[in-house]
Structures are given as structure tokens and as C-alpha cells.
């Protein structure tokens, strides 16, 4: 293979779906009408760069489509165009060698191959087939090069769009798995550990410990049931598609309306420059802290302040409630552990300040500059 041919092999070979096939068929039909061609085809490089694969056609008979599924990358005019030599026009003798004298040689007597170029890379070619053996007029051939660039770009954009949708689905599934792990799996592990201790306490006849572990298991089961309801609610109604700013505003409005606790909201961030995974984690942490305020604090007022200091985003939730014994679980409790694990995914931390009868302040902080979450 020549140096030029090696350079034209794309870094990643295109794959084509129904959406792309529709695009190709429409494009070829339009170009055929403009140029007087009787048929057309689009071919892209195979993964190993040795063949040109047929991915779309217009006007070709079914038997030709079947035979033209894959051709040698160095074959005739197609190979020249695919190798970076620009447009290549010729008779159909090479095609006749593969198919015999049928469509090629009778209906079709001349063809042209035009490279599909995207940012300087040749990803494939498109062919036009003509009933006349005469050369394609120079003006038409010149314009076809531009059409090749347009089609190459359109195909890549269509394929990239599909890849983005696929990545979005994979991200959603990963987030769902994380949510199940964080909200349910750890609770079940905790319950199982307590069941083991409960069994030992029953065998030893230790009634105080038996009662304690029964309460622990009941609490874990109640927490698991709550987690399942939260997961169902969350995945039926995901975070606001307008982003974290809008989601926080909605959360604050809903909190005050639902709990009756006056919530002062201050946000000094013009825009969060965060990947969606980080926005979701931050949103869930803030929502969980506010849920604790609503359920445990006995507060009449609370505040949420969002700011930026020393390269860190800070979300501070403060209330005038009864303090640590009621709002903040013990250090080993899975509720606080889960929030801290979420914060660690952001490269940040959770800080708790509280005193009995003097309220509680919980602060989430994490760096402004983020890498994509693993």
C-alpha cells in the first residue's frame, strides 16, 4: 500500500445505521438528477483498511448491490479516489471483471469515484454511474469534490450524534447503578450485618442486644424502602434538563411549599461549568441534606447558600433546629457515609458543624475544575 493510501485510512472507521442510509440515498438521488447519472453508491473503509464497504446506494440492481458489498480498496478508480488522489473517472472494465457483462457494460458504461473527506481524512468514496461512455464534464467533476466533502461531514455528524446518544444512555445506566449502590445496596449490607449480630444475640439470650439489633434491622428496612421510593421518583423524574441552576431553584421552591420551613436561598454562581455527572451528584447531596432538615431538625428556618471560594464550589445548608442528636446521624451511619462518598466522587468533602439546641450547618465543597468522572 502506498504512503498516500496509508494516510487516507481513517483513524476510526465509520459505521452506518438506518438514519445514515436514508441520508445517503437522498444525497445520491439528488446528485444523480443533477449530473445525469443512472445510479450511485457510497463506500467506506473497512476496519482493516483493505476493503471498501458498500453502505448505501441509489439505482443499483439488487444483484449488483450484493456483489458490490465489499471491493478491494486498491481496485481501479475507486482505489485511486480512496487513496487520496482526488476524483477518478474511468470505464467499467474492472467492474465487468467482477460481475460479467450485465449492468456494467450494458446499462452503465462509465463511472466516477469521489473521495469522502472529513478534516483532511479520506473516510471513503461515493460513485456515480453513467449510461454514456463519455467523460464527465470538467465543471461537474469539479463540483463533485465539494459534494464529497459535504457528504463526508454530514455522515460523520450523523454518526457522532448517534454515538453521543449511546454515551448518554451508558451514562444514565452507570448513574442508575451508582444510585442503587449508594441508596440501597449499602443499606442491605448493613441490614445483613445486623441480622448476623441479631442471630448471635438471640443464641446467647442477650435481650438488650437482641432488642437493639431488631431496631437496627427495622431502621435499615425502612431506609431501604425509602431509598426504593426515591429511586423510582428520581428515575421517573430526572433532574431538570435545564441544569443545576434551575434544579436548585425548583428544589428550594418545592422544599418551602412541602415542609413549611422558611428557606433563604442565595446563589452567587453565574453558571456551573460541570459535567452532568457532577451536577447530578451535587444536586442529590443538597437534596438529601434538605430532606434531613425537613425530617429531623425541628427547624423553623433554614438557608442554602451557594458560592465560590478559593477555587471551590460551596453549598452551605444551615438551620435553626435542635442540632446534632436529631439531625446528623452517628459517624458510622450509612446515611452520612453515602453523602460523603458522593462528595468524594466530586473530589470534595462534607463538613458538619452543630451543637445541641443551636442548629446545624452542613457544607459541601468540591473543586471548580473537574475531570470527567470515571
pLDDT tier, 290 (very low <50, low <70, confident <90, very high otherwise): very high
In this predicted structure, the answer to whether residue 48 has a pLDDT above a threshold of 90 is: no
> Quick one: cell of 22?
436514508
pLDDT confidence of residue 107? 92
Q: Is the pTM of this model over 0.75?
A: no
pLDDT at 273 (0 to 100): 76
Q: Are strands 70-72 and 88-90 parallel, antiparallel or unpaired?
A: unpaired
Query: 61 or 166: which carries more pLDDT confidence?
Result: 61
Domain coordinates in residue numbering, the chain: 3-162, 239-374
- Alpha-carbon distance of 238 to 242, in angstroms, equals 11
Residue 6, pLDDT score:
35
What is the DSSP annotation of 248-298?
A: HHHHHHHHHHHH--EEEEEE--S-----HHHHHHHHHHHHHHHHHHHHH--
Higher pLDDT, 11 or 363: 363
Task: Spell out where the chain has E strands.
Answer: 39-45, 51-58, 70-72, 88-90, 102-108, 110-118, 121-130, 262-267, 301-309, 312-319, 349-354, 360-367
Residue 19 pLDDT > 70 = no
Higher pLDDT: 266 or 322? It is 266
pLDDT for residue 16? 47
Looking at every residue in the chain, the average pLDDT score rounds to 80
**pLDDT over threshold 90, residue 8:** no
Whole-angstrom distance, CA of residue 281 vs CA of residue 349: 12
Residue pointed to by grid coordinates 428496612: 221
Q: How confident is the model at residue 162, as a pLDDT?
A: 62
Q: Is 333 left (phi over 0), alpha (psi -120 to 50) or beta?
A: beta
Q: What is the pLDDT of residues 324-373, one digit of tens each?
A: 654 444 444 456 777 888 898 899 999 999 888 788 999 999 998 654 34
More confident residue, 211 or 236: 211
Q: What is the CATH number of domain 3-162?
A: 3.30.450.40
Chain centre to alpha carbon of residue 292:
32
| pLDDT for 307 | 93
Q: Which fold has domain 239-374?
A: Heat Shock Protein 90 (3.30.565)
pLDDT confidence band for 181 (50 / 70 / 90): low
When mean pLDDT is compared across 3-7, 38-42, 166-170, the lowest value belongs to 3-7
Band (pLDDT 50/70/90 cuts) for residue 10 is very low
Query: What is the per-residue pLDDT across 244-264, written as a single tens digit (0 to 9) for each?
Result: 888 899 899 989 888 999 999
| 300-322 average pLDDT score | 93
Using the predicted structure, report yes or no on whether residue 239 has a pLDDT greater than 90: no
Amino acid at each position: 500500500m502506498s504512503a498516500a493510501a496509508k494516510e487516507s485510512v481513517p483513524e476510526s472507521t465509520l459505521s452506518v445505521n438506518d438514519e445514515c442510509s436514508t441520508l445517503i440515498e437522498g444525497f445520491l438521488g439528488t446528485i444523480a438528477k443533477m449530473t445525469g447519472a443512472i445510479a450511485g453508491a457510497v463506500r467506506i473503509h473497512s476496519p482493516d483498511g483493505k476493503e471498501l464497504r458498500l453502505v448505501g446506494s441509489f439505482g443499483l440492481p439488487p444483484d449488483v448491490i450484493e456483489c458490490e458489498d465489499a471491493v478491494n480498496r486498491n481496485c481501479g478508480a475507486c482505489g485511486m479516489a480512496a487513496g487520496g488522489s482526488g476524483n477518478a473517472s474511468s470505464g467499467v472494465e474492472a467492474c465487468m471483471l467482477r460481475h460479467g457483462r450485465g449492468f456494467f457494460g450494458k446499462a452503465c458504461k462509465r463511472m466516477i469515484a469521489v473521495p469522502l473527506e472529513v478534516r483532511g481524512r479520506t473516510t471513503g468514496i461515493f460513485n456515480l454511474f453513467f449510461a454514456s461512455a463519455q467523460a464527465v464534464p470538467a465543471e461537474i467533476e469539479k463540483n463533485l469534490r465539494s459534494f464529497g466533502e459535504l457528504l463526508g461531514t454530514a455522515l460523520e455528524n450523523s454518526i457522532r450524534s448517534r454515538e453521543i446518544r449511546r454515551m448518554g444512555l451508558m451514562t444514565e445506566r452507570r448513574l442508575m447503578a451508582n444510585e442503587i449502590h449508594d441508596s440501597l445496596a449499602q443499606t442491605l449490607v448493613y441490614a445483613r450485618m445486623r441480622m448476623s449480630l441479631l442471630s448471635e444475640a438471640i443464641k446467647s439470650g442477650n435481650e438488650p442486644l437482641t432488642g437493639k439489633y431488631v431496631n437496627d434491622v427495622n431502621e435499615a428496612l425502612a431506609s431501604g424502602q425509602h431509598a426504593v421510593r426515591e429511586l423510582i421518583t428520581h428515575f421517573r423524574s430526572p433532574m431538570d434538563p435545564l441544569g443545576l441552576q434551575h434544579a436548585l431553584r425548583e428544589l428550594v421552591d418545592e422544599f418551602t411549599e412541602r415542609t413549611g420551613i422558611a428557606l433563604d436561598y442565595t446563589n452567587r454562581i453565574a453558571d456551573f461549568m460541570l459535567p452532568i455527572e457532577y451536577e447530578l451528584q451535587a444536586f442529590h447531596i443538597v437534596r438529601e441534606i434538605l430532606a434531613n432538615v425537613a425530617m429531623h431538625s425541628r427547624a423553623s428556618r433554614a438557608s442554602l447558600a451557594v458560592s465560590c471560594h478559593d477555587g471551590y464550589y460551596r453549598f452551605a445548608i444551615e438551620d435553626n433546629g435542635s442540632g446534632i442528636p436529631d439531625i446528623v446521624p452517628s459517624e458510622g451511619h450509612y446515611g452520612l457515609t453515602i453523602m460523603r462518598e458522593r462528595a468524594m466522587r466530586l473530589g470534595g468533602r462534607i463538613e458538619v458543624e452543630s451543637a445541641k439546641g443551636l442548629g446545624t450547618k452542613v457544607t459541601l465543597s468540591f473543586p471548580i475544575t473537574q475531570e470527567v468522572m470515571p
